[in-house]
Amino acid sequence: MQSECERILTVPEEMGDVESPVVTGNEWVSLPDISPADADIATLNLIHMGSRGLVEWVGPDKPSGQAGPERAPFLAPYIAGHAGEVIALESSWEWERMADWIPCARTRISTASGDECTVTLIICAPVGERGFVIRFELSDLARAAGGQAAQFRVGLAGRWGATLNTIFTRRCMHVVNHAFYSGWTKSVVLEARGVSSVAALAVACNQPMEWALCGSDGAPAEEVQEPGDGVGQIEFSVWTSVSLEPGQTRAADFWFAANADPDGAATTSVHLRRVGYQAALAHTLSWLRSRSHRNRVPAHAARKAPDAMSRADYNLHFCRFFAHGKAIDTEELVMLTSRSPRYYVSAAFWPRDTFLWAFPAMLASDPVFARDVLLAGFTRHVANMGIHAHYIDGVLLYPGFELDQHASYQVALGSYVQRTGDMSIVSEPAVRAGLARFEEVLAELRHPEAALYRTFLDPSDDPVRYPYLTYDNALLWRAFASLAEIARTAGDSVAASRYADAAQEIRTAVCERLVAEGPFGPMFVWSADLEGGFELYDDPPGSLLLLPYYGFIDCNDPRFANTVKYVKSEHNPYRVAHGDYPGAGCAHAARPWPMHACNMVMAGIADCECLKLIAKAPLDGELACESVYEVGGKAATGGAFATFAGYLSVALAQAVTCDTTS
User: Residue 64 burial (CB < 10 Å; 0-12/13-18/19+)?
Assistant: exposed
- Rounded to a whole number of angstroms, the distance between the first and last alpha carbons of the chain is 47
- Backbone angles phi and psi of 368, in degrees to 5: -65, -45
pLDDT along the chain (662 residues), means of 10: 65 94 98 96 98 97 74 95 81 92 95 89 98 97 76 96 96 96 98 96 97 95 92 96 94 98 98 98 98 94 94 98 98 98 97 98 98 98 96 98 98 98 97 96 96 97 97 98 98 97 98 98 98 97 98 97 98 97 97 98 96 98 98 98 98 90 60
What whole-number distance in Å separates Cα of residue 630 and Cα of residue 617? 9
- pLDDT for 5: 45
How many beta carbons lie within 10 A of that of residue 619, not counting itself?
Answer: 24
Helix, strand, coil percentages in the chain from 3-state DSSP, rounded to 5: 35, 30, 35
- Backbone angles phi and psi of 251, in degrees to 5: -135, 155
- pLDDT for 2: 47
Its pTM stands at 0.97
Domain ranges of the chain: 22-290
HEC profile of 264-319: HHHHHHHHHHHHCHHHHHHHHHHHHHHHCHHHCCCHHHHHHCHHHHHHHHHHHHHH
What whole-number distance in Å separates Cα of residue 188 and Cα of residue 207? 14
Choose among 541, 482, 602: nearest CA to 351: 541
User: Residue 245 burial (CB < 10 Å; 0-12/13-18/19+)?
Assistant: exposed
Decide which of 3.30.70, 2.60.40, 3.30.390, 2.70.98 is the CATH code for 22-290: 2.70.98
User: To which H or E segment does residue 608 belong?
Assistant: helix 608-616
